[in-house]
Amino acid sequence: MTEPRLTHVDETGAARMVDVSAKAVTAREATAAGRVLVSPEVIDLLRGRGVPKGDAVAVARIAGIAGAKRTPDLVPLCHPIALHGVTVDIDVTDDGVDITATARTADRTGVEMEALTSVAVAGLTMIDMVKAVDPRASITDVRLLRKSGGKSGEWTR
């Protein structure tokens, strides 16, 4: 059995982009989630008349999709891949905003980073939309929930 290693570091310890050219093109999907913790006042605004900047949920959803598409520009060693679908679900709960993003492709490498970036950017956008009302808003629990496709197959948290 081989010892686990960091794939983005070569034998000398230098950062590198992993060569995926020999990998098979397969359907791949990843889902990530996170939360934005906000005040009760923000919850009331999100459920009622809206926040001062506009429809925070709609703006955060679009930002999450845009974030997924820009992942290789934001994460230095991430491969640019053709995204075939990104969905961002936002649920206003009694104590925060739950964000779940799913990214899909048929490519040589996975879409985990795209799903995670989608959640993070949607969360940052939500904070930007509500910061006038709640400067203490914070993002928490950004994590991968599941992935499928490729050589390693299915993984679920």
Query: For 102-140, how does the pLDDT look when each residue is reduced to its tens digit (9 = 90+)?
Result: 999 999 988 999 999 999 999 999 999 999 999 999 999
Q: Which helix (H) or strand (E) holds 67?
A: helix 56-69
Choose between 1 and 33: higher pLDDT. 33
Query: For 3-16, how does the pLDDT look when each residue is reduced to its tens digit (9 = 90+)?
Result: 677 788 888 888 88
Query: For 61-98, how does the pLDDT look when each residue is reduced to its tens digit (9 = 90+)?
Result: 999 999 999 999 999 999 999 999 999 999 999 999 99
* 71 phi/psi in degrees, rounded to 5: -50, -50
- pLDDT above 80 for 60: yes
Residues 6+ apart with CB under 8 A from 40: none
Q: Is 45 annotated as a binding residue?
A: no
Q: Is 129 annotated as a binding residue?
A: no
Q: Is 84 annotated as a binding residue?
A: no
Q: Is 79 annotated as a binding residue?
A: yes
Task: Select which of 89, 128, 134, 141 is catalytic.
Answer: 128
Tell me how far apart the alpha carbons of residues 147 and 50 are, in angstroms, rounded to a whole number. Answer: 34
User: Taking phi first (over 0 means left), then psi (-120 to 50 degrees means alpha), and beta for anything else, what does residue 78 get?
Assistant: beta
Of 62, 48, 68, 47, give the one whose Cα is nearest residue 113: 68
* Domain 30-148 annotated CATH 3.40.50.2300: no
Q: Is 17 annotated as a binding residue?
A: no
Per-domain residue ranges of the chain: 30-148
- Annotated active-site residue 128? The verdict is yes
